[in-house]
Chains A and B, each alone.
Chain A
Amino acid sequence: MISVIRVRLVASLFLALAVWSGCSGNWLGRRKHRHIISIKGSDTVLPLVQREAEFYMLQDSVPSLEVTGGGSGVGIKALLENTTDIAMSSRELRTDERLDFKAAQIDIVEQPIAYDALALVVHPSNPVKQLTREQIELIYTGRITNWKEVGGNDLKIILFSRESSSGTYEFFKEHVLNKRNFSASALCTSSNGAIVQSVSQTPGAVGYTSLAHLNQAVKPLAVSYDQGQKYILPADTAVSYPISRPLYFIYARNGSEHALPYINFVLSERGQQLVKDEGYIPVN
């Protein structure tokens, strides 16, 4: 008797398994859920998009949103492989990525959703207040190694950088370092938050971070892009800070119609107010 029950149990278990796997046959395939919008990419854009998502989902009968980080490159790759609806990016598409999308016959839209200033931060105890772009380049390529060479104390400079999968890393290399390579002795961290944390613990440190991640534990430097005539602090809204960049939503022109209402929400007046509240600069 017992064995009959057991056999039945096993049989019904297998039946249940078969039914379940039949229902979720689409599970491994392409994500064609209309009820979930998946957004992936830059850690710089992440907090803003999360905030926007929270407000967006307060409305009735809107799709739910899945927001994950990982770096601009990760998001763009996911978009190419059709595992996300929107890629967040803190840099423009590179030529090879453009060609990849072309090869995959995906028509791409690059929509700026906000501007972000990149702040150069040091430990609060550091007396250095300002640097020129040329000095920053020499520091980050490893040719200036002591703070006393730029008017500070006799202290070794500890460089903090981001991992190479970060859009912030590429932007910094392209626009601040004049395309030169980072010194090999630069310490790589995986997020803006980790940079702020590490710089706040290290007296000789210098790092770069998105303005939105700036807090009291670190000191932002004023930067000059005209050989030292005028130094500008990142928080100074009256003049335009030289190290700033657009943040993008990248998505396929066809096939992401269900994500459009959310993108429009981010670009709306309400959405752009949130941009301002989060410490970024609105697009218009």
Chain B
Amino acid sequence: MKLLRKLAEKLMESLLTLSGAVTTAAVVLIFAYLFREGLGVFSESPVESRVVLAVHGSNPVKQLNADVIRKMYDGQITNWKEAGGSDVEVVPFYQSDITKYFSDSALGPEFANLPQCIGQLIDSMPGIIAAFDTSYTPAKFAGHYVQTDQVSLISFLSGRNWYPTAKPAAQYGALPLLLGSLWVCIAAILIALPLGLAAAIYISEIAQPRVRRILKPMVELLAGIPSVVYGFFGLMVVVPAIQRIFNLEVGETGLAGSVLLAIMALPAIISVSEDALRSTPREMKEASLALGATQWQTIWRVVLPWSSSGIAAAAVLGIGRAVGETMAVLMVTGNAAVIPHSLLEPVRTLPATIAGELGEAAQGGTHSKALFALGCLLFLITLTFNLLVEYLVIRRRRAAGL
């Protein structure tokens, strides 16, 4: 009998240890995977896999960056002078354009002569830049290959152009996405924190017990609404409202995202900071009141300082939700990958980019690695916020002598 109970206890204990170990291992594994995939992008070439770029033999250009290549193929750079070459017009060419230059009979059955045709074309046009599959490399041609710069950490973080599906060379400049995320998130927390804190103070200190019993579950119910529903609500209600109020050309803006995120972060902030406020010992409050302080003075000078670390935790939770939130933001911020100059412009956030593009990115390819790198960036942002708040709380406690 006793033995059985002891055995059961031992079993429970080992189960608990096991689940702790499993959770830790899972977290470590996810981080390792995330960073391994994400950092992989920095040794990759921006040119599609299995594709090479070649130019005419007389062309002095040996190296191009992805931005110049994209502009050539988009018709924004039309002369090799602009790319450090001689005064020749740029002729961009993909292998699928071959039918414009050669007839079907010249190409042979099943495109058997495609490599020779590509070789001839490169040799006949001084201004050509040709992108073709390595399996169609001509046996001999007088042109030479063009090298491209690898994706670097600096170009990734400071690049202003996010063209992940540009062909033949993609551009991964995450600066607009990074700034978009920060703008939306900071604005959201500026809306949510004062509002949430005010609501928490009301619920914990001022409201009647009966009101509190209704209000608190109501607020927590907000957290149970799926984010896609918030997104839909945002698209139908918040976006047109913002468009009307600010008289904008388009309502899908960073502000719409911030407002939604603020609503979504509210339950966490209210709930956690209310718990913190209520953990203030009754004696402290009563001592304050006994000294003749008003209720407001008690709240401001006693309750708030006492619960500051809990409130900081609430802020961290709110920020965590805001930075990582995907669906609602994806639906209302417009997702244009340009650097935002105000909150009233469309922005594209990091998580929205990952969600929107991961489906198309070939697994193990440069694009998917770049998306993982965005994930790493997101993680580092949340970590920084957490450490910052932690530091502030510690400093404050030291100053208060606690």
Shortest distance from the beta carbon of A134 to any chain B beta carbon, whole Å: 12
Chain A residues positioned under 8 Å from B133 (CB to CB): 95
| Closest residue on chain A to residue B164 by CB atoms | A164
Contact B331 A190 (CB under 8 A): yes
Contact B167 A187 (CB under 8 A): no
CA distance A6 to B337 in the complex (A): 59
Indicate if B363 sits at the interface (CB-CB under 8 A). yes
Question: Of residues 154 to 193 in A, which have CB atoms within 8 Å of B's CB atoms?
Answer: 155-156, 158, 163-166, 179-181, 184-190
CA distance A103 to B166 in the complex (A): 25
| Closest residue on chain B to residue A158 by CB atoms | B250
Shortest distance from the beta carbon of B213 to any chain A beta carbon, whole Å: 34
Question: Of residues 154 to 180 in B, which have CB atoms within 8 Å of A's CB atoms?
Answer: 161-167, 176
Question: Of residues 176 to 215 in A, which have CB atoms within 8 Å of B's CB atoms?
Answer: 179-181, 184-190, 194, 197-198, 201-205
Contact A10 B8 (CB under 8 A): yes
CA distance A186 to B165 in the complex (A): 14
Indicate if B393 sits at the interface (CB-CB under 8 A). no
CA distance A203 to B251 in the complex (A): 11
Contact B1 A96 (CB under 8 A): no
CA distance A182 to B68 in the complex (A): 16
Indicate if A245 sits at the interface (CB-CB under 8 A). no
Chain A residues positioned under 8 Å from B94 (CB to CB): 179
Contact B161 A184 (CB under 8 A): yes
Indicate if A66 sits at the interface (CB-CB under 8 A). no
Known contacts A3-B5, A188-B356; is-contact A205 B250 (Cβ 8 Å): yes
Contact A4 B252 (CB under 8 A): no
Indicate if B357 sits at the interface (CB-CB under 8 A). yes
Chain B residues positioned under 8 Å from A7 (CB to CB): 4-5, 8
Indicate if A73 sits at the interface (CB-CB under 8 A). yes
CA distance A77 to B358 in the complex (A): 11
Contact A71 B49 (CB under 8 A): no
Contact B346 A202 (CB under 8 A): no
| B246-269 contact mask (Cβ, 8 Å, vs A): 1 or 0 | 000111100000000000000000
CA distance A70 to B359 in the complex (A): 7
| A77-116 contact mask (Cβ, 8 Å, vs B): 1 or 0 | 1000000000000000001110110000000000000000
CA distance A141 to B45 in the complex (A): 25
Contact B356 A184 (CB under 8 A): no
Known contacts A3-B5, A7-B5, A202-B251; is-contact A163 B335 (Cβ 8 Å): yes
CA distance A185 to B4 in the complex (A): 69
Known contacts A7-B8, A184-B337, A187-B336; is-contact A164 B356 (Cβ 8 Å): yes
Known contacts A164-B164, A184-B163; is-contact A204 B359 (Cβ 8 Å): no
Contact A185 B338 (CB under 8 A): yes
Known contacts A71-B359, A187-B336, A201-B240; is-contact A164 B48 (Cβ 8 Å): no
Indicate if B73 sits at the interface (CB-CB under 8 A). yes
Indicate if B243 sits at the interface (CB-CB under 8 A). yes
Known contacts A10-B8, A158-B249; is-contact A188 B359 (Cβ 8 Å): no
Indicate if A74 sits at the interface (CB-CB under 8 A). yes
Contact A163 B161 (CB under 8 A): no
Contact B49 A96 (CB under 8 A): yes
Chain A residues positioned under 8 Å from B356 (CB to CB): 163-165, 188, 190
Q: Which of A95, A180, A202 contacts B73 (CB 8 A)?
A: A180
Interface of chain B, helix or strand or loop or mixed?
loop
What interface size band does chain A fall in?
A: 35 or more
Contact A164 B357 (CB under 8 A): yes
Q: Which of B166, B239, B251, B361 contacts A181 (CB 8 A)?
A: B166
| Closest residue on chain B to residue A6 by CB atoms | B8
Chain B residues positioned under 8 Å from A205 (CB to CB): 250
| Closest residue on chain A to residue B92 by CB atoms | A179
Contact B338 A184 (CB under 8 A): yes
| B29-51 contact mask (Cβ, 8 Å, vs A): 1 or 0 | 00000000000000000001110
Indicate if B283 sits at the interface (CB-CB under 8 A). no
CA distance A163 to B356 in the complex (A): 6
Chain A residues positioned under 8 Å from B166 (CB to CB): 181
Indicate if B110 sits at the interface (CB-CB under 8 A). no
Contact B235 A197 (CB under 8 A): yes
Chain B residues positioned under 8 Å from A165 (CB to CB): 356-360
CA distance A44 to B214 in the complex (A): 45
CA distance A164 to B161 in the complex (A): 15
Chain B residues positioned under 8 Å from A201 (CB to CB): 239-240, 243, 251
CA distance A71 to B357 in the complex (A): 10
Chain B residues positioned under 8 Å from A156 (CB to CB): 249
Chain A residues positioned under 8 Å from B50 (CB to CB): 96, 99
CA distance A128 to B243 in the complex (A): 22
| Closest residue on chain A to residue B97 by CB atoms | A179
Known contacts A77-B359, A163-B357; is-contact A194 B235 (Cβ 8 Å): yes
Indicate if B70 sits at the interface (CB-CB under 8 A). yes
CA distance A156 to B348 in the complex (A): 20
Q: Which of A74, A100, A180, A202 contacts B250 (CB 8 A)?
A: A202
CA distance A71 to B251 in the complex (A): 25
Chain A residues positioned under 8 Å from B358 (CB to CB): 165
CA distance A250 to B70 in the complex (A): 32
Shortest distance from the beta carbon of A21 to any chain B beta carbon, whole Å: 15
| Closest residue on chain B to residue A202 by CB atoms | B250
Question: Of residues 99 to 142 in B, which have CB atoms within 8 Å of A's CB atoms?
Answer: 133
| A1-36 contact mask (Cβ, 8 Å, vs B): 1 or 0 | 001101100100000000000000000000000000
CA distance A92 to B86 in the complex (A): 39
Indicate if B82 sits at the interface (CB-CB under 8 A). no
Q: Which of A3, A77, A180, A203 contacts B75 (CB 8 A)?
A: A180
CA distance A204 to B1 in the complex (A): 80
24 contacts between A and B (CB under 8 A): A3-B5, A4-B1, A4-B4, A6-B8, A7-B8, A74-B360, A77-B359, A77-B363, A95-B133, A97-B362, A155-B249, A158-B250, A163-B335, A163-B356, A163-B357, A164-B360, A166-B360, A179-B167, A185-B336, A186-B336, A188-B336, A201-B239, A202-B243, A204-B250
Q: Which 5 residue pairs spanning A and B have beta carbons closest together?
A: A165-B359, A73-B360, A165-B360, A74-B359, A188-B335
17 additional contacts (CB under 8 A) given A97-B362, A179-B73, A188-B356: A4-B1, A7-B4, A7-B5, A74-B360, A77-B359, A77-B362, A77-B363, A155-B249, A156-B249, A158-B249, A165-B358, A179-B94, A180-B75, A184-B338, A186-B336, A198-B235, A202-B249
